[in-house]
Amino acid sequence: MRKFLVKENLSYLGYLMSDTFFTFLPKIEYIMKEYITQTSKQKLQGELCENEPLAPYTTWRVGGPAKHLYKPASIEDLSFFLSVIPSSENVVFLGAGSNMLVCDEGFSGTVIITNHLLKNVSQCDENKIYVEAGITLLELAYFGAGLNLCGLDRIAGIPGTIGGALAMNAGAYSSETWDFVDEVKVINRAGEIIVRKPSDYKIGYRSVNVADGEWFVACVFNLTPGNKETYLEAIKQMLAKRASKHPLEFSNAGSVFRNPPGDYSARLIEASHLKGFRIGGASVSTKHVNFIVNDKNATAADIEALIKHVVAVIQQDHGIRLLREVRILTKEGIRIDHGE
């Protein structure tokens, strides 16, 4: 590759600036891609896909393709993969896709899927469980119940993986993911694996200041000893409560907006008479107004337009700027609503 790009004479610089070179760029990209796969693919244990539609990997069931998508066989396999792909490649991790809106044009980089792929879970100490990022909160709660280790019943129904829950400090009913974290294992863009403590992060309501180019791949949860049967009944009741209040019959991404200080997004949305409001195939749920549902073959553009409309109406009616809880994956990367 280096030999192909380097020329001995300076006239090559003129060639680089010519139209001929730019029409040749797709060929260069092809050579780079083949260079990676030819030298490294035999060592990969996971599955590498190209132009893979992302809609099936999200709970809204919308969105365009990823240029590359990788399904790692293990954390070690993921580490190797990250170390051999070009350092310029934009990388995004996706768990259950339950908190992500993928734009219709897709993503121009590499998506790493963890859901049910990074799935090791084990008891590592008397009250501690080691769990990898692709396990769901509900699976972890049930595993803990088998060991008489309790405490996750209030967040067990959140439809996401451990990796996603850590990244946004997912929570429900006054309980949050990081309440139980003893330590985390992260991986960086170079494939290096690092162990960190909660004290390494600034943790807030639905937010964690994760360093750019680092992703959670595993965690040790510190749980409370308890009675298995009592705990399982608490999980059952919590799941029933969520099912009765949430529009689980339609594709959705859970709560779309964070609650503003001292108030509730759902109350504000209801007060502005937005229940059932529709743009294209997406509508504000009539069952829980902080949910936007894909009930008529929505596009990502429909959903994003509806999110923007709700934000504008609440700003106008109540003088409050609602912040998105969901993240948006554009062609260039992830957009997180920090309120700027």
pLDDT tens for the chain, residues 1 to 340: 333 332 333 333 343 334 433 343 343 344 344 435 556 778 999 999 999 999 999 999 999 999 999 999 999 999 999 999 999 999 999 999 999 999 999 999 999 999 999 999 999 999 999 999 999 999 999 999 999 999 999 999 999 999 999 999 999 999 999 999 999 999 999 999 999 999 999 999 999 999 999 999 999 999 999 999 999 999 999 999 999 999 999 999 999 999 999 999 999 999 999 999 999 999 999 999 999 999 999 999 999 999 999 999 999 999 999 999 999 999 999 999 988 6
Catalytic residue, chosen from 52, 304, 325, 327, is 325
Note the pLDDT of residue 41: 78
Note the pLDDT of residue 81: 96
Instruction: Return d(Cα 176, Cα 201) in angstroms, integer.
Output: 15
What single-letter amino acid sits at 51?
Answer: N
Cα angle 223, 224, 226 (rounded to 5 degrees) comes to 130
206 carries an active-site annotation: yes
| Residues paired with residue 52 on neighbouring β-strands, in sequence order | 66
Catalytic residue, chosen from 189, 196, 206, 278, is 206
Neighbouring residues of 307: CB distance < 8 A, sequence distance ≥ 6: 101, 256, 292, 324, 326
What domains can be seen in the chain, in order of their start residue? 1-43 (no CATH), 46-246 (3.30.465.10), 256-324 (3.90.78.10)
Cα angle 53, 249, 336 (rounded to 5 degrees) comes to 50
Note the pLDDT of residue 18: 41
325 carries an active-site annotation: yes
87 carries an active-site annotation: no
Instruction: Return d(Cα 326, Cα 253) in angstroms, integer.
Output: 7
Tell the burial category of 85 from Cβ atoms under 10 Å away from its Cβ (0-12, 13-18, 19+). buried
Using an 8 Å Cβ cutoff, are 112 and 181 in contact? Answer: no
Catalytic residue, chosen from 255, 265, 283, 285, is 255
CA distances from 297 to 63, 125, 329 (A): 12, 47, 19
